[in-house]
Chains A and B, each alone.
Chain A
Amino acid sequence: MSSPELVTVVVDGLEVQVPKGLGLVEAAAAAGIEIPVFCYEPRIGPPIGACRMCLVEVEGTPKLQAGCTLTAQDGMVVRTAQTSEKAADGQESTLEFILVNHPLDCPVCDKGGECPLQDLTFRYGPGNTRMNFPKRTFDKPIPISPLIALDRERCILCYRCTRFSGEVAEDGQLIARNRGAQSVIATFEDEPYRGQFTGNVIELCPVGALTSSPYRFEARPWEIQNVPSVCGMCPVGCNISATTREGKVKRILSRNHPEVDGGWLCDKGRFAYGHLRAADRIADPLRKSDPRYEELSWDEALDEAESLIRGAGGRIVTALSGSETVELAYALGKLMRQGVGAHSAVLPEPVDRSLDAFRAPLSTIRDAQLVVVLGDEPVAERAPIVELWLKAARREGAEIVRQSAPDAALEQRLREAERAVLIASGADGAGLAQAAGLDREGSAAFQIPKTANGRGVSDGWSAAADEDAVNPEPIGLLIVSGDEAAADPYVRAMAEQAEKVIAIAMFRRLVAPWADLILPGTSYLERDGTYVNLEGRLQRIRRASIPPAPDEIAVLSRLAARFGVELSPHPSQVFEEVSTICYGGVPYGEVGEQAPLRPRVPASQVPVTVTGTRPEETGGPGFRLVTYRPLFSGPAVERVPELQFQRPGAEVELPRDAARQLGIANGQTVNVRSNGTSVRLRARLTRELPPGVARIPDEHAAGLDGRVEVSP
């Protein structure tokens, strides 16, 4: 990429050198001058010049210009409100017009104190109002979903929210209705705004028109603290700010990491924090004394744990969730492996290190020419933000190919495209990436893991020792770490056979009645430590909220002492140990607010494992069934009432053309059958499925498998 030509722009008499074509708003900022804006937001597409807040005078053009729609050209001379009376008058006019119908309910507005309209009015606005007619009124606030409230009176029609819905999330659900002064923001027939990314419109809204219902009246800006952390809900690891008040998380905001999330969050990451206050949250150690559980003191709990571990005589298996921090996984490993020589573990998922040779920032996807999504797992359900990068790539003109399994043609196209990205989702991409030489400049390959920190957990566990595991038969003690593991049918099955079970979990309903000893677990919002995201980026998470019980590592360090294992109770110190083993000794302090991506491992140094295994060929009658774990599912989501409307409907996704040939229309109820079982589901026709595939969320696919027949 050649560095762009520099041009000189004069803003209010100040000369700045900026890249040709840079937005004038940014160019002015480079000169330290603010051009105030409302509708302008480069992240949601080209400027629309609607609000007219950014009016400036440009030498050579008689009329005021919308600064946001201009780009830096050499010799351009611009005068903003600071030095041009005309521009100042323009800006004041705009503000007066905006305020003509804007209600004066700032004191009861959640945006109050962090509101661009408030700030700009204070800085540029008319002191008084000359409007003495009744203002436009609407019913308010109206819920456009259980998550978002819309106040049409406050709306200034900057069209940020509708542009996000239409041009970023591409869900086409939030729209402007009517024309002129009658225009309002709306959803179709006031149906709820459903989608993976809806919450972003709250942050985009420059006024208090779109606000978070869960956050409504929860806090005032001067009472809150924002803790910089990282989302622990999926393998993307979006950078977040957790807004807290009195030690409680009140909302989650994006903390734009341009390489990772581009400033967007999915609704799971934004709203699932409600699980922290779940009704069945475990606060004390519990011991099973059939049929019920008795609360234990921590000393009793440690005695109990010690005796269960000793009693198992090494026949111990540890099942991990993939939501543990690197440090927690290492701590467990150190205790079990060094303390009792129990090396056997159920890791959340296999981790394929060979992809480290093709490592790149997720933002690489946007600039690609060809993006191949390999496998049938819907990317958006496993790693939602990756889907946004995909859409961005398509808008930038990239070709998106979705295919179940690799073949020679695909490999050739990946090799020939100048900038190619492979995203393996539910398939193994390593072999293909290697064969197509995706370690070249501008290309990359990603594997989408199932769990938020699967990679970090296996780093941590394997760092603790390197003896091989011998699986005990029968299992004397099963240690279940975390709620995801506790919810995993495979782990449950082991628990059936295990003589004893210790569970570390947040939610009682998940582990009672089958665990013998239950230790309270914590959430990623309550921990310090590190996560490794799907890029292989090591990121720092911070405790935002005070957990109801001590941090797991603190407990494990006391337990470890009883087995003669030295384990610090402080994540920072635990990290230093892990780091020297697997992260080249990066100090904890340097993991950083906006973590960089570690350099690629040369392809020569990574072992290449299997290439993509071909699923049964797509011939034969009906469709090949693919079931998947929906984004809006899992222990945390299940405990947040406001998120329930986002749970997937009883739907089957079908390839559009194939379905229409079967006489199936979008939204129609259809019969889906496989070996004896038959289910009635709503058909959703899409062009984004590999051919011959039918896709159903697992919770609606009970009893179906293999190939399915679909009929109206």
Chain B
Amino acid sequence: MTVAEFHERVQELRQRYPDGRSAIMGALHLAQNRHGGWLPVEALEEVAEAMELTPAYVQSVASFYDMYHLEPVGRHSIEVCTNLSCALVGAQAVVDAFEVELGVAPGETTEDGAITFRLVECAGGCGYAPVVVVDQRYREPVRPGDVPALVEEIRGR
């Protein structure tokens, strides 16, 4: 998506709401996709320009929500839920398995920039725990034994 297209899409979004400001979350999602999964300063400035808001305001909103990433991320993301239901059925063992398999700790990105590994709060899959989210798609449930194959699959993408 070019900046111009992005600008257009955002204007469409703004039209959907009685107050165009409501489009900021959608605009941030779009900008994040446009910039490889995170929001560098230029992305925030693009959103600000398209939304007719200040970059500061955009940053204040973006930094409030977990799904907007203000630091570089890998091409793919692996997120493990460790909230109560998942924890109770062994989420930490899954986390450990990923740490071993990926060689990075939660919150980090693999050296080759392929995968960012993160922990998340309750993903809403408690009945199919432990829940792992790969590039925003749920894998339910995932056992430590499934991890190597899963990582291989993702690296293959």
Q: Which residues on A are within 8 Å of B, measured CB to CB? A: 162, 166, 171-179, 186-189, 656, 665-667, 687
Contacts and interface: CB of A to CB of B under 8 A. Distances in A.
A162 B61 CA distance: 13
A188 B59 contact: yes
Given A189-B41, A665-B49, A666-B49, A177 B57 contact: no
Contacts of A189: 41, 55, 59
A172 B57 contact: yes
B122 interface: no
A173 B56 contact: yes
Contacts of A188: 44, 54-56, 59
B67 interface: no
A175 B62 CA distance: 12
A236 to B, nearest CB: 26
A176 B54 contact: no
A172 B54 contact: yes
B53 A172 contact: yes
Given A189-B41, A665-B49, A666-B49, A174 B56 contact: yes
B21 to A, nearest CB: 11
Nearest to A170: B54
Contacts of B60: 162, 175-177, 186
13 contacts: A171-B54, A172-B53, A172-B56, A173-B56, A175-B56, A175-B57, A176-B60, A178-B63, A186-B56, A186-B59, A186-B60, A188-B44, A667-B49
Contacts of A656: 52
B43 to A, nearest CB: 13
Given A177-B60, A179-B65, A656-B52, 9 more contacts: A173-B54, A175-B57, A186-B59, A186-B60, A187-B56, A189-B55, A666-B49, A667-B45, A667-B49
Nearest to A687: B52
A166 B63 contact: no
Question: Which of A175, A187, A666 gathers most chain B CB within 10 Å?
Answer: A175
B57 A166 contact: yes
A656 to B, nearest CB: 8
A360 B111 CA distance: 68
Interface string B29-51: 00000000000010011000100
B64 interface: yes
Contacts of B59: 175, 177, 186, 188-189
A189 B70 CA distance: 12
A461 to B, nearest CB: 45
Contacts of B63: 177-179
Nearest to B62: A177
Contacts of B54: 171-173, 188
B135 to A, nearest CB: 24
A445 to B, nearest CB: 31
Contacts of A667: 45, 49
Question: Which of B53, B60, B64 gathers most chain A CB within 10 Å?
Answer: B60
A178 B56 contact: no
Contacts of A179: 63-65
Nearest to A193: B56
Contacts of A172: 53-54, 56-57
A115 B54 CA distance: 32
A171 B56 CA distance: 10
B22 to A, nearest CB: 17
Nearest to B55: A188
A178 B66 CA distance: 9
B50 to A, nearest CB: 10
Nearest to B60: A175
A175 B65 CA distance: 15
A665 B56 CA distance: 18
Question: Which of B49, B52, B56, B59 gathers most chain A CB within 10 Å?
Answer: B56
A507 B54 CA distance: 39
A178 B41 CA distance: 16
B64 A178 contact: yes
B83 to A, nearest CB: 16
Contacts of B49: 665-667
A166 B45 CA distance: 18
Contacts of A186: 56, 59-60
Nearest to A184: B63
B37 to A, nearest CB: 20
A423 B53 CA distance: 27
A172 B59 CA distance: 11
A666 B51 CA distance: 12
Contacts of B56: 172-175, 186-188
Nearest to B61: A175
A166 B56 CA distance: 10
Nearest to A165: B56
B82 to A, nearest CB: 18
A656 B49 CA distance: 11
A578 to B, nearest CB: 47
B40 to A, nearest CB: 11
Q: Which 4 A-B pairs have the closest CB atoms?
A: A175-B60, A172-B54, A188-B56, A188-B55
Interface string B56-90: 11011001110000000000000000000000000
Nearest to A182: B63
Contacts of A173: 54, 56
Nearest to B44: A188
A178 B59 CA distance: 9
A171 B57 CA distance: 10
A177 B60 CA distance: 5
Contacts of A175: 56-57, 59-60
B107 to A, nearest CB: 14
B25 to A, nearest CB: 15
Nearest to B58: A188
Nearest to A177: B63
A186 B60 CA distance: 9
A168 to B, nearest CB: 15
Contacts of A176: 60
A186 B58 CA distance: 12
Contacts of B45: 667
A179 B54 CA distance: 19
A188 B63 CA distance: 11
Nearest to B46: A665
A179 B67 CA distance: 13
Contacts of A178: 63-64
Nearest to B66: A179
Contacts of A665: 49
A150 to B, nearest CB: 14
Nearest to A188: B56
A665 B7 CA distance: 11
A177 B55 CA distance: 12
A179 B64 CA distance: 5
A656 B52 CA distance: 10
A47 B63 CA distance: 24
A653 to B, nearest CB: 15
Interface string B120-154: 00000000000000000000000000000000000
A665 B4 CA distance: 11
B17 to A, nearest CB: 19
Nearest to A171: B54
Contacts of A687: 52
A178 B52 CA distance: 22
Question: Which of B49, B53, B63 gathers most chain A CB within 10 Å?
Answer: B63
B11 to A, nearest CB: 11
Contacts of B44: 188
